[in-house]
Amino acid sequence: MGPLGRVFRFPRRSRRQIATEVDDEIHFHLEARAEQLARLGLSTAEARRAAEARFGDLERTRRALRESTRRREGRMRRRERLEAIGHDLRFALRQLRRQPGFAVVAVLTLAAGIAANAVMFGVIDRLLLRPPPHVVAPERVSRLYLRQWDEDGGERTTANISYRRLLELRDGGRAVADVAGYLADEFLLGRGDDAERVRGAYATASLFPLLGVRPVLGRFFGEAEDRPPDGARVVVLGYGLWQRRFGGDPGVIGRTVHVQSNDYTVVGVAPPGFAALDLREVDVWQPATSIRGEFGLPAEWATQHNFSWIEPVARLKPGVSAEQAAAVFSVAWARSLAEQLDAQRAAAARPRVLVAPALEQRGPQRSASARVSLWLAGVAGVVLLVACANDANLLLARGLERRREIAVRLALGVGRRRLVGQLVLESVLLALAGAVVGLVLAQWGGSLLYAVLLPDVGVHGELYDARVLAFTAAAAVVAGLLAGLVPALQASRPDLAATLKAGAREGGGRRARLRGALLVTQAALSVVLLVGAGLFVRSLHNARTVDLGLDTDRLVYATIDWRGAAPEGAEARAALDAQLLARLRALPEVERATTSLSLAFQRNITLDLFTEARDSVPRAGDMYFNAVGTDFFATTGARILQGRALDARDAVGTSPVMVVSEAMARAIWPRGGAVGRCLRVDEDTMPCATIVGVAQNVVQSELTTDSTLQYWVPETQRPSRRGSNVFALLARVRGEPAAAVPAIRAALQAELPGDAYANVAPMSELVDPSVRSWQLGATMFVAFGALALVIAAVGLYGVIAYHVSQRTHEMGVRRALGAGAGQLARTVLGEGVRAVTLGIAIGALLTWAAARWVEPLLFGVSPRDPLTYAAVAVVLLAVALLAGLAPARRAVRVDPSEALRVE
Amino acid sequence: MAESLQLLKGTLDVLVLKALSWGPMHGFGIAAWIEQGTAGDLAVEDGALYQALHRMEERALIEGEWGVTDNNRRAKFYRMTRKGRQHLAAETAMWERYARAVTRLLQTA
């Protein structure tokens, strides 16, 4: 199409016009033919009839011609539209190139907002949206959770059940669903120095057909290999492990690998990323029944209930709803429980089965990190809104600068719709450029975030998958439209031409109001983010400074995986334990060392307790039992509040003693005087153990230590049938715990027989995951809040500076009339401060209203913490003043004569 | 016209393009040209010709534009496009090869 074609378009024709055109063409033909025949001597009427006869089916042809004309018309119109878009695109790029400074600021602020959203989408997608890989029809697959009420009236929900219970659920639920089970854990693979920790799982043979997964090599194990009491010694390798450790060798099938305590034969390789319903790829799959060989369980283990471990998975039959399935499973569980206990106690427990989504984080046991991540996703959205508001402000300012150009184009007859389209297209282009830059930022920041803050949910690398890219592109387009539409409508207002002619300097009151409103919005949203940041930072600080009763900065713990190499007999075992402890104490890195039967966040033991009078102790909650070596309290740093610690005096054969925690002392003897009393441990026939001391509360399984009721007895006096081995060795080290780990591990490993393996790590590794959600919240809220603050400051500066430049004339006049420098500066600064103050008020109200929902995510700080609010207000006002400073200086320096001479 | 030949598929397109190779023509002009050139041996229903014209317009082999005839009547004139010219050349060459081959075979047998 020529240059004129762009202005004078191919006229669009209606259906009627097309019909007439076709009729005209046929009419002309019939006339011409009739004339030709008449010349050969036919009468006019005969000629007309003959012409029509030669034409054939008139109606059909007419229809065909109309249709084809319409088709052609449509295609031309489409092509024209495409050309128009191409033209607009080139035009927009030219415009952006003309003002690179503006483009850079807009692109960078949008990039920051988009990057935040891309990162958070990546997390949310993995945790809550994306179905588990290789699972066929995942919407019909569910996790089952068992809920019941304790005798204390507490509600307990668990996914871990006994093998027998799994079979009973399977049999009871046959009508509504298939049931399988698995449990993922850490396994040791290989022997000696070659050993590595991998992710392993016990799975019933039914799991693989239930999920619909197919092996990439070999086969999965079958029902015959997974029969109690002992499963076959076969394993299926994860794809990643197969590649990493076996180089993807197909000859791996039939090879023998040493997993945990036994040798297994490889029978297959699972597809890449397969993790059943979990997030982290499983490296080794073992038959569920092979667990007997690993844990040394008795032959009748599969028919007992005292070992709750496996997690049930169900695939609902077609047409069965989750509620129906839950009802059927609940009945099955109630029956199973009645068999285990008695009918009355089973009924009192009100057993109920929850049929929950396949994704764990969508179920009842959602982690705190997942909840915080959802919040952060919302926060990322707010950051993007702030960036959009900023972009809109910049575009508004630019609309003013381009008044002349736009007026000229309107005058030339460019339609308003086309003009708005072009302006919005510019804004969308900016946002897309922002998305590209944002993805680079996201890649850099995202991998950092995933690795450091979300290791427990197993989100790894691979940020740039199609879903994240699609989301990012969509977010960019929406942001571009959001930011661009209002400024475009403003800029293309037809009355602009009139304003232009009058030579007005300001864009009119409405525009100024609009920009003011955008500023207020930015400030309000910044307040929301900054208050959130403040609250999470305080939570993290509080969580970090909780007195855990454990000096985690100095402690290293060690546990032993015996892998079948534990010495036979209690005496030999005790001798080895003593040898390990002695070795530990001899190390120069170690200041003190002790043993412990339980380990915070890893293993807790509860036993029955009886008073002197052999009544059972009133249940004030679970009371945790621990048997510890001498020096336990000095090593861990738990303070003794009354009486004495356990020490060398409490040797084998001496009269039994114990130390109780402060909370437990208060729970049993509210009026005090615990020291000197005695309690019977485990059975009412046991000798009564005298309480010799009260210690501070020590962290057990959650960070709040107030409710942990604990008591410690000397390892030498432990009821012998309880906990047959020392579970952990604790060492108080000199200097940095992480630095001492290798030496300690080497020393312990040297003492160990056979395949036994020493795990050694700083104690903080056990505690950190429980602080992680606040750490995540604090880091990300601060990052996002700072981002929003910077964007808002840039916006504020831009708007004020722009106003000043527009009002140079006015400033000059006021200066000439005798206004002081301070007065002018106040005028300029006041503008920004007013907008920000209003924003702070609105933002504070919003945050106040939202406080209820953040409360459960905080730790030791009220969501309406006045200190946080005040600090945020001060920061924002300071930013407003700083942003206005440079423009104010410029306003004051205006030379009156210069300003008045302009125009 | 029972004794006249039925057109082979696609032949009509080539004939139309050949007609237009002399210059723009309206539909009746093309019909008349074909009749003249074949002395009525080929049967082309006028309606079918117009459908062919529109189909070829959709394929951008020809372009239609309204104009005025010698005796001042409004008619739609068709013009061959560059794509049409290429199509004609290709089809003509193929047609000649085909005809030569068949003719040779029929004569020798």
- Dist. CA A372–CA A857, nearest whole Å: 7
Distance from CA of A15 to the nearest CA of B (A): 17
For residue A509, what pLDDT band results from cuts at 50, 70 and 90? low
State whether B54 and A26 contact (CB < 8 Å). Answer: no
What DSSP designation does A275 have? B
Distance from CA of A25 to the nearest CA of B (A): 6
For residue A892, what pLDDT band results from cuts at 50, 70 and 90? confident
pTM reported for the whole predicted model: 0.69
Structure confidence by residue, pLDDT tens digits, A55-65: 888 888 899 88
For residue A463, what pLDDT band results from cuts at 50, 70 and 90? low
State whether B73 and A28 contact (CB < 8 Å). Answer: yes
Give yes or no for a contact between B84 and B13, defined as CB atoms under 8 angstroms apart: no
Structure confidence by residue, pLDDT tens digits, A727-752: 789 999 998 888 999 899 989 988 88
Shortest CA distance from A67: residue in chain B: B54
Shortest CA distance from A75: residue in chain B: B58
Whether A57 and chain B come into contact, CB under 8 Å, resolves to yes
Q: What ipTM describes this predicted complex?
A: 0.86
A605, A612, A607, A599: which is closest to A691 by C-alpha? Answer: A612
Mean pLDDT across the stretch A712-719? 83
Structure confidence by residue, pLDDT tens digits, A90-122: 887 887 787 777 788 888 888 988 988 988 888
- Across the interface, which of B46, B51, B58 has its CB nearest the CB of A29? B46
* Mean pLDDT, all residues of chain B: 84
pLDDT of res. A267: 96
Q: Can you say how many angstroms the Cα of residue A524 is from the centroid of all Cα atoms in its chain? A: 25
For residue A355, what pLDDT band results from cuts at 50, 70 and 90? very high
Shortest CA distance from A50: residue in chain B: B46
Mean pLDDT across the stretch A123-152? 88
Sign, CA dihedral A334-A338-A340-A344, equals positive
Distance from CA of A60 to the nearest CA of B (A): 9
For residue A613, what pLDDT band results from cuts at 50, 70 and 90? low
State whether B74 and A24 contact (CB < 8 Å). Answer: yes
For residue A706, what pLDDT band results from cuts at 50, 70 and 90? low
pLDDT of res. A5: 38
Residue A792 has pLDDT above 80, yes or no: no
Mean pLDDT across the stretch A426-455? 80
- Dist. CA A299–CA A301, nearest whole Å: 6
A111, A593, A151: which is closest to A388 by C-alpha? Answer: A111
Shortest CA distance from B53: residue in chain A: A65
The angle at the Cα of B44, spanning B39 to B50, to the nearest 5 degrees, equals 130
Least confident of A40-49, A134-143, A437-446: A437-446
Q: A831: burial class by Cβ within 10 Å (0-12, 13-18, 19+)?
A: buried
- Across the interface, which of B27, B28, B45 has its CB nearest the CB of A56? B45
Mean pLDDT across the stretch A353-371? 86
State whether B46 and A56 contact (CB < 8 Å). Answer: yes
pLDDT of res. B80: 92
Residue A725 has pLDDT above 90, yes or no: no
Give yes or no for a contact between A629 and A596, defined as CB atoms under 8 angstroms apart: yes
Residue A6 has pLDDT above 50, yes or no: no
Contacts of A75 in chain B (CB under 8 A): 58
Percent of chain A's residues with pLDDT above 90: 26
Least confident of A216-225, A496-505, A630-639, B96-105: A496-505
SS3 A440: helix
State whether B26 and A28 contact (CB < 8 Å). Answer: yes
Mean pLDDT across the stretch A437-455? 75
Least confident of A147-161, A199-213, A728-742: A147-161
Residue A460 has pLDDT above 60, yes or no: no
- Across the interface, which of B47, B54, B55 has its CB nearest the CB of A55? B47
Letter string b/e over residues A733-766, b meaning 16 or more CB atoms within 10 A of that residue's CB: beeebeebbebbbebbbeebeebbbbebbbbbeb
* Mean pLDDT, all residues of chain A: 84
For residue A12, what pLDDT band results from cuts at 50, 70 and 90? low
Return phi, psi of residue A613, to 5°.
-80, 10
State whether A33 and B51 contact (CB < 8 Å). Answer: no
Scanning the structure block, which residue is given the tokens 């959009």? Answer: A388
Least confident of A191-200, A760-769, A795-804: A795-804
For residue A673, what pLDDT band results from cuts at 50, 70 and 90? confident
Highest mean pLDDT among A184-198, A777-791, B68-82: B68-82
| Those residues with Cβ within 8 angstroms of residue A901's Cβ, 6 or more apart along the chain or in another chain | none
pLDDT of res. A167: 95
pLDDT of res. B85: 93
What is the H or E stretch that residue A678 is in? strand A678-681
Mean pLDDT across the stretch A438-448? 80
Least confident of A166-170, A398-402, A492-496, A597-601: A492-496
- Across the interface, which of B27, B31, B47 has its CB nearest the CB of A57? B47
Regarding predicted confidence, which is higher, A713 or A683?
A713
Structure confidence by residue, pLDDT tens digits, A562-610: 777 778 777 788 888 889 999 999 999 999 999 888 888 777 777 778 8
For residue A9, what pLDDT band results from cuts at 50, 70 and 90? very low
Mean pLDDT across the stretch A417-422? 84
pLDDT of res. A874: 92
State whether A28 and B74 contact (CB < 8 Å). Answer: yes
| Rounded CA Rg of chain A | 38
Structure confidence by residue, pLDDT tens digits, B12-32: 888 899 999 988 999 999 988
Distance from CA of B44 to the nearest CA of A (A): 9
For residue A232, what pLDDT band results from cuts at 50, 70 and 90? very high
Mean pLDDT across the stretch A300-318? 89
Helices A509-544, A466-491: axis angle to 10 degrees equals 150
pLDDT of res. A611: 78
Give yes or no for a contact between A147 and A155, defined as CB atoms under 8 angstroms apart: yes
Contacts of A69 in chain B (CB under 8 A): 54
Give yes or no for a contact between A775 and A453, defined as CB atoms under 8 angstroms apart: yes
The angle at the Cα of A819, spanning A817 to A825, to the nearest 5 degrees, equals 140
Least confident of A140-149, A472-481, A598-607: A598-607
For residue A1, what pLDDT band results from cuts at 50, 70 and 90? very low
Distance from CA of B74 to the nearest CA of A (A): 8
Residue B5 has pLDDT above 70, yes or no: no
- The distance between the two most distant Cα atoms of chain A, rounded to a whole number of Å, is 142
Contacts of A32 in chain B (CB under 8 A): 26, 28, 75
pLDDT of res. A8: 41
Whether A71 and chain B come into contact, CB under 8 Å, resolves to yes
Give yes or no for a contact between B12 and B48, defined as CB atoms under 8 angstroms apart: yes
Mean pLDDT across the stretch A313-318? 96
Tell me the C-alpha to C-alpha distance, in Å, between residue A184 and each of A76, A187, A282, A586.
61, 9, 7, 37
Number of A to B CB contacts under 8 A, please give it.
Answer: 61
Contacts of A25 in chain B (CB under 8 A): 27, 50, 75-76
Highest mean pLDDT among A162-166, A189-193, A421-425: A162-166
What is the H or E stretch that residue A609 is in? strand A609-611
Give yes or no for a contact between A800 and A886, defined as CB atoms under 8 angstroms apart: no
Highest mean pLDDT among A141-155, A157-171, A403-417: A157-171
Percent of chain A's residues with pLDDT above 70: 91
Mean pLDDT across the stretch A137-162? 86
For residue B109, what pLDDT band results from cuts at 50, 70 and 90? low
